[in-house]
Structure formats: C-alpha cells, structure tokens
Amino acid sequence: MEVKPRGTFLRSGKVKDIYELDANRLLFYFTDRVSAFDVILPSTIPRKGEVLCKLSAFWFETLGVPNHMVSVEGSNIMVVNRMTMIPVECVVRGYLYGSLHDRLLKGEVSLPTEKVLAAKLPEPYFDPTTKSEVKDEPITEAEIVREGRMTSAEMRGVKDSTLSIYAKMGERAIEHGFILADLKLEFGRRDGRVLLGDSIGPDEFRMWPADRYAPGKTQDSYDKQPVRDWLTKAGYKEKLDRARKSGEPTPTPPLLPAELVSLVSDRYVHIYEVLTGRKL
C-alpha cells in the first residue's frame, strides 16, 4: 500500500525524496527513479522504489549490524535516525566488473588477478570512492584518513564491517542461486557511534544468477546493470564521459525502451522475492 510522505520536504536525492520529521528523524520516500553513471534518467522503473525500501528493511532487520532504520510505513517509506553521513561510498568487490575492470585495463589499479571481465578476485577487494554530487571518484584508505573523512579507527571499523556484510549477504545470495558480485554501503555518525545507513538494494549491488555465471563476458544482472549496458550500447556513456572530460553540461539521457523497463522491473521484484522468501 502506497502511503503519502509526511514531514517537511528537505531534498530529492537521485532515488529517494527526503523529508524531515524532527531534529532526530528523517523520512525516506523511495521513488521509482533510476540513475546510471550518477545521472537521473528520464524513465522510471515500476515497483523499483518498493523493492528498494523493503529489501533495505530486510537487510537492516537480519544483518545484525547497528543501523539507522526506525520503521517502515506502507510500501515506499522508511523512517530513519538522522546521521551525519561519512563522505565515502564503501564499495567492496568480489569480481572484476564495471569501473574496476576499466581501471585495471587502463593500469590505474594493480590487482593480483587475470584481466578477464567478471573474473572472481582472489579475495574481496575494498574499493572506496568519494561521495560527490557529480561523479564518485576512487579514493585510498590513506587519503580518506588524511583528508579527515574518517579517523583511522573509524576507517578500520567501517572496512571490517563492509567486508563482513558483503560476506553475510553473499552467503544468503548463493544459498538462493545468486552471486553477489559487489556492494556499496554508506555509514554515518550519530551520538558518537558509526552506524550503517542509506539503503541496500539492487541499486547498491550487482547480483548474477550463479548457474549462468561465466567469466569473459557481460553477466546477466538482477539489478540496474542492464540499464547501464543499454546506455553504453546506445552511445550515451561515451557521450557523457566526453562531456565530463571537457567540462560541458551533462547530455540529456535517452528514454529507455519499454521492454528493458519491464525486464528490469521484473528482475527487481524477482531478486527481492528470492532473497527474502517473501512475496512483494
């Protein structure tokens, strides 16, 4: 059941609309908006907001990690404890894919792995980025501490927590026939403690059906990867990269074809139902 958001509207993120309930609590309204390469697209994906909200709630309830969730209301709303967000996206990767694959080919990172797309890494790789309005950029642990984004103790805690959440979620996924290829988490501070925040759904991870996994090719992905793949094929990614390099405004993204929208919507619902054992 869709419930209307309440409180004072604060701002729209790329995916969530954020309302203030009081000094301590925020309300997240999960929309069906979809972004790719940090750009909001003109198409929406039906039921995406509901999946993101309910799957996030499932992980917050079951991971056993201190987090910001207070309650869920209806299908698209989560009330959370307000935090001061740590300006780092905590990315962990178990497989060589997406921007890590690109960076490895360009020699921007060195990793003890074959340079084959979708190869399993010898061990999960903590690969943080900055949190930026424009485009998130890779950052090292040493830079995070030097720039004062986290203390070194916080850095250690957040890294350990990210790796252990990845392991836990990966176990659940594989029990249900999916590989958790990678994951992005955000943490924040509240009353002197660091808590897990934001959301955990198919916008924050890549999930591949294990029985179709084969290195050396594009994987069938139960998340927003098909959207990124389509935009890349349509030439939009290249256009965007060129514009960003030369400091030009972001080019207008194309509308997604109807078949792609329904495929992605079905996959979001499917991954929710498979991972949680619940019907949406």
Ligand X SMILES: Nc1ncnc2c1ncn2[C@@H]1O[C@H](COP(=O)(O)OP(=O)(O)OP(=O)(O)O)[C@@H](O)[C@H]1O
CA distance 142 to 227: 33
- Indicate the residue among 33 and 93 with the shorter CB distance to ligand X: 33
By CB under 6 A, name the binding residues for ligand X. Answer: 13-16, 18, 26, 68, 80-83, 85, 133, 186, 188, 197-198
Closest approach, Cβ 273 to ligand X, in A, equals: 23
- Indicate the residue among 104 and 158 with the shorter CB distance to ligand X: 158
Closest approach, Cβ 123 to ligand X, in A, equals: 28
Instruction: Give the residue at shortest CB distance from ligand X.
Output: 13
- Indicate the residue among 40 and 119 with the shorter CB distance to ligand X: 40
- Indicate the residue among 24 and 152 with the shorter CB distance to ligand X: 24
Residue 159, C-beta contacts closer than 8 angstroms, at least 6 positions apart: 90, 126, 141
Residue 49, C-beta contacts closer than 8 angstroms, at least 6 positions apart: 15, 29, 30, 31, 32, 33, 75, 76
Instruction: Identify the sign of the CA torsion 274, 275, 279, 280.
Output: negative
Q: Are strands 88-95 and 120-126 parallel, antiparallel or unpaired?
A: antiparallel
Rg of the Cα trace of the chain? 18
Closest approach, Cβ 133 to ligand X, in A, equals: 6
Closest approach, Cβ 186 to ligand X, in A, equals: 5
